[in-house]
Amino acid sequence: MTQATSSPDPSTPDLSEGWSEQRSRLRKDLGRLDVLFFLICTLVGLDTIGSVAAQGPQGLTWMAVLALVFFLPYGLLVAELGSAFPVQGGPYVWTRLAFGRLVAGLNQVLYWLSNPVWLGGSLCIIALTTWEEFFTPLPGLWKYAAGLAFIWIGALAVVQSVRVGKWVPTAGAVARIVLLGFFLVSVVVYAIERGVHPLPAGDFNPTYAGFVALVPVLIFNYVGFELPSSAAEEMTNPKRDIPLSILRSGFASLVLYGGPILGILFVLPAKEIGSLAGFIDACKAVFTVYGGHIAADGTVVLTGAGAVLGGIAAAGLIIGLLTSGVTWAMGAHRAQAVACADGAGPAWLGRISERYGTPVRVNLLSSVLASVLLIVALNLTDGNGEKYFAAGLGLAISTTFISYVITFPSLVVLRRKYPATPRPYSVPGGRFGLWTVTALATGLVAFTVVVLIWPGFGVGWFGTAGSAADSLPPSFAGERLQYTLSQVVPLLLFLAVGGLFYAWGTPTRRRARAEAAHDGRDLAHQVTGAPDHRQGTAARGGLR
């Protein structure tokens, strides 16, 4: 185990002394395989499989299209930024170098807060739903207790040192491969014994209404490439490992994500697939081949080996959900700590624990926020899981994607501002490739933010089929204002938090400016031989 004691590349602009003081506490314990598992755990989201399957076969069509026009450009973009600027804090540093500390600080707060929203929102509600479907109901206070346990077990994992904590995404990646692989094998067995629902070719035809409904969850499952860069100075060789891991994990995620969606469509009638429980219901239906039956009303009863395997799969799903939140937190929290140490937030949040080498204070604050969100949301929605899930997932995605709208253009700006910085990997195609990649990635996340805040945007325009009202989440049917407020009000609050954080970082920025001025005076004295003002004053004081 080695410590990172200096900036990884002298050609890369350094941050303020606030972060330099913390850098020595980092430990280089992330190897190539660790980064690969980290990305698989990040990219393969188990919470949105049902949301995509609920849109029918065209979900697979749009998945293929977005793989080409978003996933590929996004991966190329991050591969260059991550290998050219392998500095702890990743997205914050890229944005800071491109647009300055204020913009980067506000942007980073949005990126960071999306994690407790996601953990205390959609991840937590799916974990609770899975538990109730396969094990036992959680009435009254038991639901709150189980949700808080889910959040704080994750918090305990995030605070651990990299040497220990890296096993969480590894376990998550293995759980995904085993769970999704076993599900697909079971679908084949189910198809042989009981047949499957036909998927007419016409159902794969893409529609604009389907695109508007699917683009948020599909792109959300395609993002996360930048997260390992937030821990770049804890990698043994980030310039080599980041681009290579992006390539490998990208292919793996397409297989692990597309296969289960197809399996759900084969097993369940499209009208019976729900956004929240689609994958859970499909698992229960498929596992009846090992023991159990499906009643005439659609109720699934698992018995014998089916019940045992169902319980194991449910545990694997809960582990997969928990590790998703933990892995994203490991990256987002590190970037927020760098921002705070750099003067874009309160300095006390930028401290790295000497014992663990992780930003323990940011981790704990995030868990508190996730806990508050869970309690408030369960009360506001009266325990309505579908409503809670829709609002929480939409907010997590829109918050993350607003930050991407600022971060992605950093690629073009940094090519211009730092042309001499070594780039082990560069986006191919010269200026045309550079602008194409940036425009596609930025444009699609910006469009996604619009359709999240106003579902159905553009539906029914220019002769397109469908009604904008039908694009609202089913749990918010006829409640457009309530849904929009559930997105806009928290976003405004998060921006206010970003402004407050930046104000709290004033002492750090003032101290950094004073130190820079001091270093400048010392350099001028050494070069010119000019008398030092402070030395002269001290001498005169001594004579007196």
521 has pLDDT over 70: no
Give buried/exposed letters for 173-194 (b at 16+ CB in 10 A, else e).
bbbbbebbebbbebbeebbeee
99 has pLDDT over 70: yes
Q: Which amino acid is at 410?
A: S
SS3 content of the chain, % helix, strand, coil (to 5): 75, 5, 25
149 has pLDDT over 90: yes
8 has pLDDT over 50: no
Q: What is the pLDDT of residues 323-352, one digit of tens each?
A: 888 888 988 999 999 999 888 999 899 888
User: The tokens of 535 are what?
Assistant: 């030395």
398 has pLDDT over 60: yes
User: The tokens of 192 are what?
Assistant: 């042989």
Query: Which residue, chain included where needed, has tokens 């596609």?
Result: 440
**Looking at residue 1, what is its pLDDT?**
43
- Do residues 85 and 359 touch, judged by C-beta distance below 8 A? no
DSSP letter for each residue of 400-423: HHHHHHHHTTHHHHHHHH-TTS--
274 has pLDDT over 60: no
7 has pLDDT over 60: no
User: Distance between CA 135 and CA 301 in Å, rounded?
Assistant: 12
Instruction: For residue 532, report the phi and psi dihedrals to the nearest 5 degrees.
Output: -80, 125
The closest of 172, 140, 163, 168 to 45, measured between CA atoms, is 172
User: Distance between CA 474 and CA 343 in Å, rounded?
Assistant: 43
**Looking at residue 231, what is its pLDDT?**
80
**Looking at residue 29, what is its pLDDT?**
72
**Looking at residue 538, what is its pLDDT?**
38
384 has pLDDT over 90: no
Long-range contacts, stretch 270-273, CB < 8 angstroms, 24+ apart: 270/54, 270/56, 270/197, 270/203, 272/298, 273/50, 273/53, 273/54
30 has pLDDT over 60: yes
Q: Which residue has the higher pLDDT, 336 or 40?
A: 336
Q: Which residue has the higher pLDDT, 394 or 78?
A: 78
Q: Which residue has the higher pLDDT, 335 or 540?
A: 335
Pick the CATH number of 28-469 from 2.40.240.10, 1.20.1740.10, 3.30.70.100, 1.20.120.160: 1.20.1740.10
Assign 421 a pLDDT band (cuts: 50, 70, 90). Answer: confident
Assign 10 a pLDDT band (cuts: 50, 70, 90). Answer: very low
User: The tokens of 479 are what?
Assistant: 């409640």
530 has pLDDT over 50: no
300 has pLDDT over 50: yes
- Do residues 97 and 417 touch, judged by C-beta distance below 8 A? yes
Which residues, other chains included, contact 324 with Cβ-Cβ below 8 Å and sequence gap of 6+? 41, 42, 45, 46, 47, 123, 172
Class of residue 537 by CB neighbours under 10 A (exposed 0-12, middle 13-18, buried 19+):
exposed
User: Distance between CA 323 and CA 221 in Å, rounded?
Assistant: 15
Assign 495 a pLDDT band (cuts: 50, 70, 90). Answer: very high
The closest of 135, 127, 114, 158 to 47, measured between CA atoms, is 127
**Looking at residue 503, what is its pLDDT?**
94
**Looking at residue 275, what is its pLDDT?**
52
Assign 374 a pLDDT band (cuts: 50, 70, 90). Answer: confident
Q: Which amino acid is at 195?
A: G
Mean pLDDT value across the chain? 81
- Percent pLDDT > 70 in the chain is 85
534 has pLDDT over 70: no
106 has pLDDT over 90: yes
User: Distance between CA 305 and CA 449 in Å, rounded?
Assistant: 44
**Looking at residue 442, what is its pLDDT?**
96
515 has pLDDT over 80: no
- How much is the average pLDDT of 477-484? 81
Q: What is the pLDDT of residues 172-225, one digit of tens each?
A: 888 888 888 888 888 888 888 888 777 787 778 888 888 888 888 888 888 888
Which residues, other chains included, contact 221 with Cβ-Cβ below 8 Å and sequence gap of 6+? 43, 44, 45, 48, 52, 253, 257
Q: Which residue has the higher pLDDT, 520 or 25?
A: 25
Going 412 to 418 to 420 to 423, the CA torsion angle's sign is negative
- How much is the average pLDDT of 82-90? 87
Which residues, other chains included, contact 495 with Cβ-Cβ below 8 Å and sequence gap of 6+? 106, 109, 110
Query: Which DSSP letter does residue 281 get?
Result: H
Least confident of 119-133, 274-288, 355-369: 274-288
Least confident of 1-15, 64-78, 186-200, 259-273: 1-15
Give buried/exposed letters for 239-266 (b at 16+ CB in 10 A, else e).
bebbbbbbeebbebbbebbbebbbbbbb
3-state secondary structure of 535: helix
473 has pLDDT over 80: no
